Amino acid sequence: METREHLLHRLQAIQRQFRHIPPQAMQQAATDYQLPLSQVAAVVAFYSFFSTQPRGRFDILFSNCTSCGYLVEGENLLQILCRQLQTVPGKTRADDLVSIDETSCIGMCDHGASMLVNGIPITGLNLEKLARIAQRVTDAIPVQHWPVEWFAIVDTVHRRDLLLAKHPVPGSALRQAFSQGAGETLAIIRRSGLRGRGGAGFDTGKKWQLSRDTSGNTRYVVCNADEGEPGTFKDRLLLHEYAEELFEGMTLCAFIIGATQGFIYLRGEYRYLLPQLQSALKRRRSRGLLGARILKQRNFDFDIAIVVGAGAYICGEESALIESLEGKPGIPRIRPPFPVTHGYLGQPTVVNNVETFIAAAHITVHGADWFKAAGTTASAGTKILSVSGDCGKPGIYEYPFGVTIRQVLDDCAAVAAQAVQIGGPSGALLGPAAFDRTLAFDDVSTGGSVLVFGQQHDLLTIHRNFARFFAHESCGFCTPCRVGTQLLQNTLDNIAAGRGATADIEELQQLGKIVQRQSHCGLGHTAANHVLDSLRQFPQVFPNRMRSPFTARFDLDQALASTRRITRQNDAAAHLDQHK
């Protein structure tokens, strides 16, 4: 077990106490952790939930996701709350009472517009609720005294299959594994055809085998519960209601590869799940399912610690996640070597998604054939989907692989969808012509997010939202992604502002390809997908906005605003027409 508090946890505590990380606290952390001050400063600067300027006593962060974001039926909830509380986005009000800003998707997509208040989610925002929140903030009523029902997050599961239908008896997978041995259990997992559920779809059995076969002083099991892909919230459900199976799957993995320490890297947005996860871990320890000599196995000690992230989508990338576990900024490593051989602290490390571990636990109990009976040849088993957007029944759906997009759309009561984004912004944007395609690793692959866009949606707005997400979440390490994602955002914003030029189509295409092909990690490789998909399938989205072959690349008249004010001139000569 880790004895010292994790650096991220120390900084989170400081942030909570002082509402920012003061310089002395950074210095103290550097001393205590024997780190260069610059490393602590780099960590503080990297994660969104740390700040060097004090935030408000009520620190409000609106999700800006297309599903749980603050734009609701033409209203901008963020602006409205700012007006009600007489403050501006991103700035702490002078009296320190409140700060309001936005943050990337907080995983409440099935609950409508949502926010974090001092780190705790409130969902289903509307004008009326906003007014009541504003009142409580103004009256400085502590968040603990706000109506409890505001904080209730109800998981709606519309379709259950292999993993969601029944809970296995805690310990049953472990007992099975102990009785048949680690080798045989691994063989069963390999035979089941289980592939990673986090997006990339790597063969899980093979990953465990590789780690088992690598020499190392010790080994680690890491559960990737960072779930940062906008529109994904299935791990939220799993962590909430299926944590037992998750722990079981991780322990199973530890038994197979020979690990003694596991970590769950929980995204900061899901901190509200922490107490419950901690008590579930405690319960397992008391039942002998975790800790020393698990189920009285003489040579098997294993425990799980939870590390809470601090707002960085890139930390879902496994090597960035490991960097973060090591208390550093989440910058993806050079791969190879891969984490299976050189992971946490340089030791062999298995990183898997929440759902993958749960599937492994089930497979151990029910067998490979049980699992393979569902799904397709290349994609065995089921996939848990998070469905949201313009549909009547948002929520969780578990389908066998091979289900068509059309089926999913019918089941979730999506009427006349214009497009769906499968796998979140980094996935694929598909129009009606592709609705008969199937969800499977060899067709449309997904980590679980399905965003539905009805006819009323303007696709350019969606693209701008996604582009902004990637520019904001790019770790900044490599040039094509750091600069390219920003250029994509700027180009789309320009088009939306009426400054698009016909040459921008070609520009988006070229730029998109460079970001996709030349970047260092998966974030950059996928950041332009949505634009490239759209140029192929919805070619009218962009040209419709373009007035001429060329327009000035910035707002000409706005560029004169300062001098108009300074010289107090405002006649015709003091203005410029953008489109002359």
Cα separation, 347 vs 355, in Å, equals 24
Q: Which stretch binds another protein (CB under 8 A): 43-51, 271-279, 349-357, 434-442?
A: 43-51
In the complex, least distance from residue 353 CB atom to ligand SF4, rounded to whole angstroms: 19
Q: Which stretch binds ligand SF4 (CB under 6 A): 18-26, 444-452, 491-499, 515-523?
A: 515-523
Q: Residue 524 interacts with ligand SF4 (CB under 6 A)? A: yes
- Between 315 and 350, name the residue whose CB sits nearer to ligand SF4: 315
Cα separation, 273 vs 284, in Å, equals 17
Task: Say how many C-beta atoms besides its own lie within 10 A of residue 136's C-beta.
Answer: 18
Q: Residue 314 interacts with ligand SF4 (CB under 6 A)? A: yes
Residue 287, helix vs strand vs coil:
coil
Return the one option of ligand SF4, another protein, ligand FMN, none that residue 71 interacts with (CB less than 5 to 8 A, by type).
Answer: none
Q: Residue 104 interacts with another protein (CB under 8 A)? A: no
Cα separation, 426 vs 448, in Å, equals 12
Q: Residue 560 interacts with another protein (CB under 8 A)? A: yes
DSSP-assigned letters across all residues of 402-467: T-BHHHHHHHTT--S-SEEEETSTTSEEE-GGGTT-BBSTTSB--SSEEEEE-TTS-HHHHHHHHH
Q: Residue 268 interacts with ligand FMN (CB under 6 A)? A: no
Query: Which of 542, 496, 493, 535 is CA-nearest to residue 512?
Result: 535
Q: Residue 199 interacts with ligand FMN (CB under 6 A)? A: yes
Return the one option of ligand FMN, another protein, ligand SF4, none that residue 561 interacts with (CB less than 5 to 8 A, by type).
Answer: another protein
Q: Which stretch binds another protein (CB under 8 A): 53-61, 179-187, 261-269, 569-577?
A: 569-577
- Between 223 and 314, name the residue whose CB sits nearer to ligand SF4: 314
Q: Residue 417 interacts with ligand FMN (CB under 6 A)? A: no
Q: Residue 311 interacts with ligand SF4 (CB under 6 A)? A: no
Q: For residue 472, what is the enclosing H or E element?
A: helix 459-473
In the complex, least distance from residue 552 CB atom to another protein, rounded to whole angstroms: 5
Which string of b and e fits 13-23 if b means at least 16 CB within 10 Å? ebbeeebbbee
- Count of residues that interact with ligand SF4, criterion CB under 6 A: 14
Q: Which of positions 313-332 make contact with another protein (CB under 8 A)?
A: 314, 329
Q: Which stretch binds ligand SF4 (CB under 6 A): 371-379, 438-446, 475-483, 490-498?
A: 475-483
Q: Is residue 394 within 8 Å of 430, Cβ to Cβ?
A: no
CB-based contacts of 93, cutoff 8 Å, min separation 6: 56, 85, 86, 87, 99
- Between 43 and 115, name the residue whose CB sits nearer to another protein: 43
Return the one option of another protein, ligand SF4, ligand FMN, none that residue 12 interacts with (CB less than 5 to 8 A, by type).
Answer: none
Q: For residue 249, what is the enclosing H or E element?
A: helix 243-257
Task: Say how many C-beta atoms besides its own lie within 10 A of residue 378's C-beta.
Answer: 14
Pairing of strands 382-389, 395-400: antiparallel
Q: Which stretch binds ligand FMN (CB under 6 A): 42-50, 280-288, 518-526, 565-573?
A: 518-526
What residue has token string 């060329």?
Answer: 550
* Residue selected from 102, 226, 323, 390 as contacting ligand FMN according to rule CB under 6 A: 226
Q: Residue 200 interacts with ligand FMN (CB under 6 A)? A: yes
Residue 225, helix vs strand vs coil:
strand
Q: Residue 104 interacts with ligand SF4 (CB under 6 A)? A: no
* Residue selected from 5, 31, 36, 169 as contacting another protein according to rule CB under 8 A: 36
Cα separation, 527 vs 482, in Å, equals 11
Residues that bind ligand SF4 (CB under 6 A): 314, 332, 474-478, 481-482, 519-521, 523-524
